[in-house]
Amino acid sequence: MNNRPLKCLFVSTEVVPYAKTGGLADVIGALPKKLRERGIDARVVMPYYQRIKGKFFEHDEHFVTSYDVYLGWRVQGVGLYFDDSIVPTYFLKNDTYFSRDELYGYQDDYERFAFFCKGVLEMLRHIDFMPDIIQCNDWQTGPLCLLLKDMYSRDMFFSKIKTIYTIHNLKYQGLFGREALDVLELSNEYMSPERIEYHGAVSYMKAGLIYSDKITTVSPTYAEEIKTYEYGCGLDRLLGEKLYYKIEGILNGIDYNIYNPQTDPHIYTNYNIDTLEMKKENKFAFQRAYGLEEKDCMMIGVVSRITDQKGFDLMKQQVYEAWVMDKIMELDVQFVILGTGEKEYEDMFRYFANKYKKRVCAFLTFNEPLAQKIYASSDIFLMPSLFEPCGLGQLIAMRYGTVPIVRKTGGLKDTVIHYNQESKEGTGFEFEDCSGYWMYKKIEEAYNYYNTEGQEAFRQMQYNGMKKGFSWDDAARKYEKVYRALVR
């Protein structure tokens, strides 16, 4: 195998610490760092959002250059910025597109991210960095694979670059009207099911899947699941029958420097595997800070986007003629949730917080320091997802000695091992059926372990989870293998 130094550009619309809405940001904040440790010149490019300005680097000193991007009949300017205080990262600035409160969810998202994709390719002519690999992430970056393969690669300058398209969540596909063809300067011929048409819409996800040289996704189980009707989000036949040969699942890790209960500045009391008894201090301090009753009962934590994907419908199913959530609250437990998302679920948690005062807390906001406090303070971390490409919450929880209860799907299946009392192996609890009954049964099982005299088995699960190695080393090695096979 050729061992020459590789160059890789990660294209992402969110990156820790600059902008984050979910796990994608964690991945791009961590993986390039690990690859650099392996001698790969990994760099990152992302949009310059309003929230970045003045927060991470001196705006003016980090200006590199400016250039124009053509989107059909429109011309838009890019101000290019660069910061290498963590990992060499480029920022594409255009206030029309990116000076907004949120990252996504606007009517012109098709144009914003077409601009981003083209802007990234044009950027390469202006910087002294020609990557061997461009790694695109999720639908926002799908068009880049198409533009490179069908247009830019005719230019010798771009012809050798290979693309990887990484699926972090197949459900969000970037489906738009035909106006997307205009901004991408694509003819109507692209509107066919073999290309990027999806039931009459332009699919940015398909542009990434079909035109990339390799597809990766974030766990081995999810790589198989997306080829099935149940999890394929309408793309199962494309993935299972046509593109299967180029799909690979590589499990995400977490950044062990950021997620470290021994050094985490956001939690109340630091601890490690040898001082695990100190973890409880976090629970008591949390109870005091947020008006929960101060006592040593089992605290169930959730940190999550609050969408149907995450399985919150199970909370309001019926079990023993009561709502599952009411049934859970019949146990001597406390319940803390942090998340934002769909109003229906937010309202449900507001209702429960009101109904069970001093026992349920619902923080319906995005707050990273608070998330860390919940990981450290909870005894149980609940993740009943309907599907889960990888899931980082359960990995962070285990790192903090918090025992996960998860539905057995995708990356949750690959990372959580059901506890076996005989062998004392396992890190948490899994249930397979998408049913509130089984979720409740697993919470009850955990509750019984938690309250068993001596709590030995529960302690064992915590140790087992903390000892697991979910750092990025393994994944970085696997990605390097993929890169080398592509540039051979």
Contacts with ligand ADP by CB under 6 A lie at: 22-23, 26, 303-305, 338-340, 366-368, 371, 390-393, 396
Rounded least distance, CB 396 to ligand ADP, Å: 6
The angle formed by the CA atoms of residues 446, 451 and 456, to the nearest 5 degrees, is 85
**Beta strands at 298-303 and 333-338: parallel, antiparallel or unpaired:** parallel
- Residue 89: phi and psi, rounded to 5, are -130, 130
- For residue 446, what is the enclosing H or E element? helix 436-451
Tokens found for residue 276: 């695990």
Q: Give every CB contact of residue 298 below 8 A, 6+ residues apart in sequence.
A: 331, 332, 333, 334, 379, 380, 446, 447, 450, 451
Rounded least distance, CB 204 to ligand ADP, Å: 18
Rounded least distance, CB 303 to ligand ADP, Å: 5
Tokens found for residue 487: 């540039």
Tokens found for residue 194: 């073999």
The angle formed by the CA atoms of residues 427, 166 and 181, to the nearest 5 degrees, is 145
Q: Which is nearer to ligand ADP, 385 or 462 (CB)?
A: 385
Question: Contacts from 407-411 at CB under 8 Å and sequence distance 24+?
Answer: 407/311, 407/383, 407/431, 407/432, 407/434, 407/439, 408/432, 409/221, 409/225, 409/385, 410/219, 410/221, 410/222, 410/225, 410/231, 410/385, 411/218, 411/219, 411/221, 411/222, 411/251, 411/252
Rounded least distance, CB 393 to ligand ADP, Å: 4
Q: Which is nearer to ligand ADP, 131 or 410 (CB)?
A: 410
Distance from C-alpha of 78 to C-alpha of 298, rounded to nearest angstrom: 52
Residue of this chain nearest to ligand ADP (CB atom):
23
Rounded least distance, CB 452 to ligand ADP, Å: 29
Q: Which is nearer to ligand ADP, 196 or 390 (CB)?
A: 390
Q: Which is nearer to ligand ADP, 8 or 16 (CB)?
A: 16
| CB-based contact 327:317 (threshold 8 Å) | no
Rounded least distance, CB 276 to ligand ADP, Å: 21
Q: Which is nearer to ligand ADP, 391 or 436 (CB)?
A: 391
Distance from C-alpha of 481 to C-alpha of 187, rounded to nearest angstrom: 36
Distance from C-alpha of 397 to C-alpha of 301, rounded to nearest angstrom: 9
CA distance to 141, 162, 175, 364, 377, per residue, from 146 (Å)? 10, 12, 15, 38, 46
Radius of gyration of the chain from its Cα atoms, rounded to whole angstroms: 23
Q: Which is nearer to ligand ADP, 68 or 368 (CB)?
A: 368
Rounded least distance, CB 367 to ligand ADP, Å: 5
Q: Which is nearer to ligand ADP, 349 or 356 (CB)?
A: 349
| CB-based contact 400:261 (threshold 8 Å) | yes
Rounded least distance, CB 389 to ligand ADP, Å: 7
Rounded least distance, CB 366 to ligand ADP, Å: 4
Distance from C-alpha of 347 to C-alpha of 339, rounded to nearest angstrom: 12
Q: Which is nearer to ligand ADP, 162 or 399 (CB)?
A: 399
Q: Which is nearer to ligand ADP, 94 or 221 (CB)?
A: 221
Instruction: Transcribe 110-139 into DSSP letters.
Output: HHHHHHHHHHHHHHTTTSS---SEEEEESG
Q: Which is nearer to ligand ADP, 94 or 309 (CB)?
A: 309
Q: Which is nearer to ligand ADP, 146 or 353 (CB)?
A: 353
Rounded least distance, CB 388 to ligand ADP, Å: 7
Which residue type is seen at 120? V
Distance from C-alpha of 423 to C-alpha of 421, rounded to nearest angstrom: 6
Rounded least distance, CB 159 to ligand ADP, Å: 34
